[in-house]
Structure formats: C-alpha cells, structure tokens
Amino acid sequence: MQAGFAFTKLADRLTSLLELSSEDLDLLARMPSSVRNVLPHEDVRRKGDEPSTCCLLLQGYLCWKDIEAGAGQITAIYVPGDVPDLYTIVSPRVTAHLSALSPVVAAFVPHSFFRDARARSARLAHALSLLMLADMASLRTWLTNLGSRDSLSRVAHLICEITVRLRAVGLGRDLRFPSPFTQSDLAAICGISPVHANRTIQDLRRKELLHWQSRTITVTNWDGLTRLAGFRPDYLMLRQTPMLEPQAATQQSSDPLGSPAPN
C-alpha cells in the first residue's frame, strides 16, 4: 500500500460532502494509521467491541450485519473512503458485526486523531459530522426500500446507490464495478430469499438495465434503472451528484441474459 493512500481515500470522501481548505487537507495528511488486509466474510468489528480506532475502508466492501436476525440481515454497505464506525469516537461500543463482503484493505485510525482534527478545524468537524449524518440518512432510505418497494425496485435502488457512491470517490467511471455482494448477500440486504434474488437479477437483465457477469456489475441503462428504482440521490448529501450518462456503459457482456447470478 503506497504512502498517503489512506489519506487520499478519506480526503476524497470528505470533499465529496464539503469543500476543504489546503490547511484541512494538510491536517488529514498527518493522519496516523495501520493498514490491514481482511478476507471475505471476516469480521472487522464484533458486537460488544469497544475499539480505540476507526476503520477507514481503502479497497473492497464492508457491511454491518445483524447476526441475530436469521441468516444475518445486512443493514448497510460501505465503499472505499467510508468510515463505517466513525460514531465510535462518541460512543465506543459496537452494536453489530462489521464484516467484509469481499477482500478488503482497511486502515485503522486512532480515535484521538479524529478528536484532534475536529478540535483544530471547524470545517473538518463539519465534514465528519456530515459523514455520520449521511450514514443515518442512507439507513432511513434502506428502511423505506424494505417497507414500501417491491423486490425489483429494491434491488434497482441498491445498485443505483452503490454506483453513485463509488463515482463520488472516483470509482466506477464507466458504470462498471466489482459486485459488492453475492446472490445470498443481496437476499440478506433486500429481505428476500436467495431464489427470489436470482429471479430479480434475471428480470433486470431481461429489461436490459444491467449485466451481471461473474463478480462484475455493468449498468447498461442508467435512466431506466433510476426510473424503476425511483432513485433520487439527495439523501446521500453529496456536494455534486456525479454525472451519469444514460447509456454510458455500452459494452455488451458475453454472459447470456438467462444465466444465473453468482452465488
């Protein structure tokens, strides 16, 4: 992992929410951290932990999982630049399992750094608060998805959200990105069975809204996907919504539309 990579990812995420000064960025550049590789399905935090560091995601995908809810309900997904447990600088006790959905590279940053940064810079304090507020706003939207949308629009909305969040930190530029979940993970996120999840993916393929080949998702009709999902990205609290061309992904997958999604 090259020096400064952790700082760059955090800076990208915070500046997607609020413009920061050069002094703020210099302060972030002095961030101490230790970097760790995490295997898929390995826990980064476990319910009841009281960590003294925050986990800054650098590569891959993390999720909060309630292991007491059947097979484990997934209640949030995180992309590079996110700090899923930022709230532990205020309330250190972890209330769920923070697990890797894919191979992950994460940096662990002392709570003391974030407390010092908030004390030294009002704008950094504001940006970190926005990061936590955006997390809560996303959770409210996920609850709406589960309570008022059918399975097709739930899955479509989730893919729209992941796409925009990745592009906000400079990833997924061609509307193609590694899938953050398997078929079983998707079922645990959307409150449906794995079989229903597979059928839903097939339906999205037949509508020519996306291709899902192996562990890669390609959105082929952004306008159609957002209409189906009723997706409006304002709850993500981004300074600017990344521009998305309606047909930005034009490459056709060799995966036939009727083939099953990855397990």
Residues 109 and 155 in one domain: no
Residues 113 and 15 in one domain: yes
Around 128, how many Cα atoms within 13 Å sit in the side-chain half-sphere? Answer: 24
* Residue 263 within a domain: no
Mean pLDDT, range 50-57, rounded to an integer:
97
Nearest-angstrom CA–CA distance, 43 and 215: 21
The pTM is what? Answer: 0.88
The C-alpha angle with vertex 60 and arms to 59 and 66, in degrees rounded to 5, equals 130
Residues 156 and 228 in one domain: yes
Q: Is the pLDDT of residue 131 over 90?
A: yes
Residues 15 and 61 in one domain: yes
Per-residue confidence band for 148, with pLDDT thresholds at 50, 70 and 90? confident
pLDDT at 185 (0 to 100)? 86
Residues 166 and 66 in one domain: no
Per-residue confidence band for 260, with pLDDT thresholds at 50, 70 and 90? very low
Nearest-angstrom CA–CA distance, 162 and 89: 26
Q: Is the pLDDT of residue 60 over 70?
A: yes
| pLDDT tens for each residue of 194-227 | 888 889 999 999 999 999 887 899 999 999 999 9
Residues 9 and 108 in one domain: yes
Q: Is the pLDDT of residue 249 over 50?
A: no
Residues 158 and 60 in one domain: no
* Residue 140 within a domain: no
Q: Which residue has the tokens 């940053």?
A: 109
176: domain CATH number is 1.10.10.10
Domain that holds residue 217: 149-236
Per-residue confidence band for 255, with pLDDT thresholds at 50, 70 and 90? very low
For 83, 148, 208, 229, the CA distances from 223, given in Å and listed in that order, are: 30, 21, 12, 10
* Residue 167 within a domain: yes
Nearest-angstrom CA–CA distance, 180 and 188: 13
pLDDT at 215 (0 to 100)? 83
Q: Is the pLDDT of residue 261 over 50?
A: no
* Residue 192 within a domain: yes
Mean pLDDT, range 119-128, rounded to an integer:
97
pLDDT at 84 (0 to 100)? 97
* Residue 9 within a domain: yes
Nearest-angstrom CA–CA distance, 205 and 198: 11
Per-residue confidence band for 70, with pLDDT thresholds at 50, 70 and 90? low
Number of domains in the chain: 2
114: domain CATH number is 2.60.120.10
Residues 48 and 153 in one domain: no
